[in-house]
Amino acid sequence: MDWVREFYSKTGSWWARADARVTDRDHRRVRLLREHGVESGDVLELGSGYGATAVATAKAGYFVTAVEISDRAHQAGELAGDVAPGSLTVHNADFYEIALPGKFDVVCYWNGFGIGSDADQRRLLVRVAEEWLRPGGVALIDVFNPFVWASWDGDEEHLTPDPAAGYDHDLREVTRFDPVTCTATDTWWETSNPAEPISQTLRCYTPADLSLLLTGTGLTLTSIVVGDQAFSPSPQPGLGALLRDNHEYLAVLRHDG
């Protein structure tokens, strides 16, 4: 996973001016936290990026600890301007390494789970269950949906600069999907510098795969939220929202203890 810090720091330097701000996406996540997590309490956010969701969560009255490995973490200070003192702590650190005091009512990982091998994912889930969640706590984890990522195999994008919106770079993207390992590889480069592409590789899991991955971790998949609709993880033949419409779904995981 050597690429992680560099990939998200580099892409963060391209997009922070436009994207490091609290938007409807962050307010939606806070709603999901209230509906599927707890009404108030202590929240650990893993892979918090620029910190926009962490800031929205803290402003909604939660006590938030956020962990982010890349330089994106440096944006959180500016965003957190009027957050109540003591309600947000951001660590620029690796969540596989960090030792955190205390436990949490909810652990969130928005738009990031799937970096690394299955063994890495299980290592993280065990930390969530054994070290971080209080008994009866909930983990809310966005999971990349293989049905949609597979349909994007070979897609190419050209992002032209839009300085008024904060996008200063001319960028290219190509997406590939490996159906054997069920991983998506998303590659970016500056149009002026095709010799230095950077890639993120994302393991995608169907809900059935995810349930297998959870075996023995101390966490159980109790529902999935696709778009804004919650489903039990029972057979759902023809569920278009998952087959075609959403590139990720939210997994609601209950602590077994």
Residues that bind ligand SAM (CB under 6 A): 4, 8, 47-49, 67-70, 72, 94-96, 110-112, 115
How far apart (Å, rounded) are the C-alpha atoms in residues 177 and 216? 29
Structure tokens at 44: 């650990």
In this complex, which beta carbon is closest to ligand SAM, that of residue 126 or of residue 239? Answer: 126
Q: Please measure the distance between the N-terminal and C-terminal CA atoms of the chain and give it in whole angstroms.
A: 31
Q: Which residue is nearest to ligand SAM (CB)?
A: 47
In this complex, which beta carbon is closest to ligand SAM, that of residue 4 or of residue 239? Answer: 4
In this complex, which beta carbon is closest to ligand SAM, that of residue 72 or of residue 255? Answer: 72
CB of 47 to ligand SAM, least distance (A): 3
In this complex, which beta carbon is closest to ligand SAM, that of residue 112 or of residue 146? Answer: 112
Q: Which of the 8 DSSP states describes residue 162?
A: B
CB of 236 to ligand SAM, least distance (A): 26
Instruction: Specify whether the CB–CB gap between 90 and 113 falls below 8 A.
Output: no
CB of 91 to ligand SAM, least distance (A): 9
Q: How many CB atoms lie within 10 A of CB 80?
A: 21
In this complex, which beta carbon is closest to ligand SAM, that of residue 89 or of residue 111? Answer: 111
Instruction: Specify whether the CB–CB gap between 192 and 160 falls below 8 A.
Output: no
Nearest to 241, CA basis, from 185, 250, 24, 208 = 250
Residue at token pair 């998949």: 221
Instruction: Specify whether the CB–CB gap between 226 and 38 falls below 8 A.
Output: no
In this complex, which beta carbon is closest to ligand SAM, that of residue 73 or of residue 224? Answer: 73
How far apart (Å, rounded) are the C-alpha atoms in residues 13 and 73? 11
CB of 5 to ligand SAM, least distance (A): 7
Q: Which of the 8 DSSP states describes residue 244?
A: I
CB of 222 to ligand SAM, least distance (A): 22
CB of 67 to ligand SAM, least distance (A): 5
